[in-house]
Amino acid sequence: MKMNVAVIGLGSMGFGIAGAALRRGHRVWGADINPDQVARFQAEGGQTGALAAVAGTLDAVAVVVLNAAQTESVLFGDAGIVDQLKPGAVVLACATVPPAFARDMAARCADAGVLYLDAPISGGAAKAASGQLSIMASGLSATFAAARPLLDSIAETVFELGDAAGAGSAMKAVNQLLAGVHIATMAEALTFGMTQGVTPDKFVEVISKCAWHQLDAGKPRAAYCGRGLHAAEFGQYLAQRPWDCA
């Protein structure tokens, strides 16, 4: 089934999601506060024209923004999309937000006759672009059914975590907690190694052959060590990149 889809938020993840949906044959509109990103997506085959003009025809809207405040603004702000959607349209809320916030958004969407899938994403920009994300999702069975054609286009794995919003966001919080622990530990381990004369390159070489690295958690983080950053800079770099490590 081909859908009319809007992707709101064309950052590294949203742009990849929009492109993956486009390649699967959906008609996709992209929206972003940066007009250059919108123009770039349109140049790659995205639909042209104002989103407001077609909102009533949309089957699905993926909201791929930074946080809860931006999600709420997109959905219910001064130009909120929810009031413009047709009954039965589905919102995929992909940002990392508190579970209680997700439940509130689902209730408000339901009041407007719109379905809400609590659908935080993981995998990084490369997997977003290739349509191979992991999505930690929760919502009504009817919501999953409505979202399925889009989910199949953008995700390799969709974890169905319950029939109510909130569980998906709770699982993403668990994922982020584990990622944060590994980020902090990696920074401390690299710093210790450097104080003892172990260079970052050697750190990567050795760790990549040791037991700890056999855990998937270690693999993406060790790769950052070869970038030649000072230890303090490395720790700061990782702390600012939680989504890459999720």
- 76-90, 120-134, 135-149, 215-229: least confident range: 215-229
Q: Where in the chain is the domain with CATH 3.40.50.720?
A: 4-166
Q: Is 172 a catalytic residue?
A: yes
7 membership: H or E segment, kind and range:
strand 4-8
> Looking at residues 10-39, what average pLDDT do you find?
96
Q: Say if CB 67 and CB 93 are below 8 A apart.
A: no
Residue 155 has pLDDT above 60, yes or no: yes
The string of pLDDT tens digits covering residues 211-241 is 665 555 444 455 544 444 444 444 444 444 4
Q: Say if CB 80 and CB 112 are below 8 A apart.
A: no
Amino acid 230: pLDDT: 43
Spatial separation of the C-alpha atoms in residues 14 and 7, rounded to whole Å? 7
Neighbours of 19 (CB within 10 A): 23
Please tell me the pTM assigned to this model: 0.82
Angle CA 21–26–27, to nearest 5 = 110
In this structure, what token pair is assigned to residue 63? 């909201």
Residue 128 has pLDDT above 80, yes or no: yes
The fold for domain 4-166 equals Rossmann fold (3.40.50)
Q: What is the rounded average pLDDT for all residues in the chain?
A: 88
Amino acid 228: pLDDT: 45
Q: Which of 86, 127, 172, 202 is catalytic?
A: 172
